[in-house]
Amino acid sequence: MMKKILSKSGKALIFVLLMNSRFYSQQSGLGNNHVAINQGDPPVEVIRKAAHVTPSKRQYEWQKLEMTGFIHFGINTFDEVEWGKKEIDISKFNPKEINVKQWVKAFKDAGIKLLILTAKHHDGFCLWPTKYTALNISRTPFQNGKGDIVGDLSKACRKAGLKFGVYLSPWDMHEKSFGTPAYNRYFMNQLTELLTNYGEISEVWFDGANGEGPNGKKQVYDWQSYYKLIRRLQPKAVIAVSGPDVRWVGTESGYGRQTEWSVLPGSSTNEEEVAANSQQKALDGAFTPRNLMDEDLGSRQKIMKAHSLVWYPAEIDVSIRPGWFYNKNDDSMIKSPYKLADIYYNSVGLNGVLLLNVPPDKRGLITEGDVKSLQGMHYLIGQTFKNNLLEGAGIKASSQKKGFSAKNIIDRKPETYWTTDDTVSTASIEFELAAPQNFNCAMLQENIPEGQRIEKFSLEYRDGDKWVQFAKGTTVGYKRLVRFPEIKEDRIRLVIEQSRTNPTLSSFGLYKAPPEVSFMPEGVTFKDTASVKLLCDTKDAGIYYTTDGSQPDKSSRLYTGPIKLDRTAVITAVAISPEGVSGLPVKAGFNKAKYNIEYKAQYDSAYPGSGVYTLVDGALGTYNFKDGKWQGFHGTDAEAVIDLGKIKPIRKLSWRFLESTGSYIFLPGSVEYSISDDGKEFRTLKAIVNDEAGRQDKIPFIKSFDAFPENIQARYIRIKAVNIGLCPPWHPGAGDKAWMFTDEVTVE
Ligand code: FUL
> Which residue's CA lies nearest to atom 2 of ligand 1?
9
* Ligand 1 atom closest to 10 (CA): 11
Spatial distance between the Cα atoms of 251 and 254, rounded to a whole number of angstroms: 7
CA angle 164, 165, 167 (to 5 degrees): 150
207 alpha carbon to ligand 1 midpoint, in Å? 7
Distance set, CA 369 to CA 106, 118, 366, 622 (Å): 11, 22, 8, 17
When pLDDT is cut at 50, 70 and 90, the band that residue 13 belongs to is very low
Residues 417-444: what's their mean pLDDT?
96
Q: Which helix (H) or strand (E) holds 659?
A: strand 653-659
Distance of CA 112 to the CA centre of its chain: 15
Q: What local confidence, expressed as pLDDT, does residue 174 receive?
A: 95
74 alpha carbon to ligand 1 midpoint, in Å? 13
- The verdict on whether omega for the bond into residue 521 sits within 30 degrees of 0, i.e. cis, is yes
- Protein residues whose CB sits closer than 6 Å to any atom of ligand 1: 8-9, 11, 82, 207, 209, 317, 324
Spatial distance between the Cα atoms of 266 and 271, rounded to a whole number of angstroms: 12
Whether the CB-CB separation of 410 and 472 falls below 8 Å is answered with: no
Axis-axis angle for helices 149-160, 100-108 (nearest 10) = 40
60 alpha carbon to ligand 1 midpoint, in Å? 25
When pLDDT is cut at 50, 70 and 90, the band that residue 419 belongs to is very high
Beta bridge partners of 675: 683, 717
Q: What local confidence, expressed as pLDDT, does residue 243 receive?
A: 87
Residue range 551-560, pLDDT digits in tens: 999 999 999 9
Query: Pocket of ligand 1, candidates 7, 9, 117, 203: which has the most ligand atoms within 8 Å of its Cβ, to mutate?
Result: 9
Q: What local confidence, expressed as pLDDT, does residue 675 receive?
A: 97
When pLDDT is cut at 50, 70 and 90, the band that residue 15 belongs to is very low
Q: What local confidence, expressed as pLDDT, does residue 280 receive?
A: 26
Whether the CB-CB separation of 383 and 392 falls below 8 Å is answered with: no
When pLDDT is cut at 50, 70 and 90, the band that residue 268 belongs to is low
> Which residue's CA lies nearest to atom 3 of ligand 1?
9
740 alpha carbon to ligand 1 midpoint, in Å? 27
Distance set, CA 393 to CA 322, 439, 489 (Å): 44, 15, 12
254 alpha carbon to ligand 1 midpoint, in Å? 14
Q: Would the pLDDT of 14 be above 60?
A: no
Coil, strand or helix at 309: strand
Residues 508-524: what's their mean pLDDT?
95
* Ligand 1 atom closest to 72 (CA): 7
Phi-psi region of 363 (alpha: psi -120 to 50; beta: other; left: phi over 0): alpha
Residues 120-140: what's their mean pLDDT?
98
> Which residue's CA lies nearest to atom 11 of ligand 1?
9
Q: Which helix (H) or strand (E) holds 228?
A: helix 223-233
Residue range 481-507, pLDDT digits in tens: 999 999 999 999 999 999 999 999 999
Backbone φ, ψ for residue 703 (5° rounding) = -135, 140
Coil, strand or helix at 249: coil
Coil, strand or helix at 344: helix
Spatial distance between the Cα atoms of 337 and 372, rounded to a whole number of angstroms: 8
pTM above 0.95, yes or no: no
Other CB atoms within a 10 A radius of the CB of residue 117 amount to: 28
262 alpha carbon to ligand 1 midpoint, in Å? 23
Neighbouring residues of 629: CB distance < 8 A, sequence distance ≥ 6: 609, 610, 614, 619, 620, 621, 622, 743
Q: Would the pLDDT of 68 be above 80?
A: yes
Residue range 322-359, pLDDT digits in tens: 999 999 989 989 999 999 999 999 999 999 999 999 99
* Ligand 1 atom closest to 357 (CA): 9
Q: What local confidence, expressed as pLDDT, does residue 28 receive?
A: 53
240 alpha carbon to ligand 1 midpoint, in Å? 13
Type of residue numbered 702: I
Which ranges of 161-208 would DSSP assign to H, the alpha helix?
181-197
Backbone φ, ψ for residue 28 (5° rounding) = -85, 175
Q: What local confidence, expressed as pLDDT, does residue 115 receive?
A: 99
Residues 712-740: what's their mean pLDDT?
96
Q: Which helix (H) or strand (E) holds 278?
A: helix 271-278
Q: Would the pLDDT of 273 be above 50?
A: no
Closest of 432, 447, 341 to residue 389, by C-alpha:
432
Neighbouring residues of 560: CB distance < 8 A, sequence distance ≥ 6: none
Q: What local confidence, expressed as pLDDT, does residue 290 receive?
A: 56
The proportion of the chain whose per-residue pLDDT surpasses 90, expressed as a percent, equals: 82
Q: Which helix (H) or strand (E) holds 232?
A: helix 223-233
Which strands sit side by side in the sheet containing 530-536, from one edge to the other?
Answer: 517-520, 530-536, 563-565
Neighbouring residues of 681: CB distance < 8 A, sequence distance ≥ 6: none
User: If you average pLDDT over every residue of the chain, what do you get?
Assistant: 91
Spatial distance between the Cα atoms of 345 and 441, rounded to a whole number of angstroms: 10
Q: What local confidence, expressed as pLDDT, does residue 16 receive?
A: 33
DSSP string, 22-90: PPP-SS-STT--EEEPPTT--HHHHHHHHHT----HHHHHHHTT-EEEEE--SHHHHHT-SS--SS--G
* Ligand 1 atom closest to 82 (CA): 5
Q: Would the pLDDT of 186 be above 60?
A: yes
Q: What local confidence, expressed as pLDDT, does residue 697 receive?
A: 78
Q: Which helix (H) or strand (E) holds 645?
A: strand 638-649
648 alpha carbon to ligand 1 midpoint, in Å? 53
Q: Which residue has the higher pLDDT, 628 or 141?
A: 141
Axis-axis angle for helices 337-345, 368-384 (nearest 10) = 50
Q: What local confidence, expressed as pLDDT, does residue 264 receive?
A: 92
Spatial distance between the Cα atoms of 719 and 491, rounded to a whole number of angstroms: 64
Q: What local confidence, expressed as pLDDT, does residue 239 receive?
A: 94
Whether the CB-CB separation of 205 and 241 falls below 8 Å is answered with: yes
> Which residue's CA lies nearest to atom 6 of ligand 1?
324
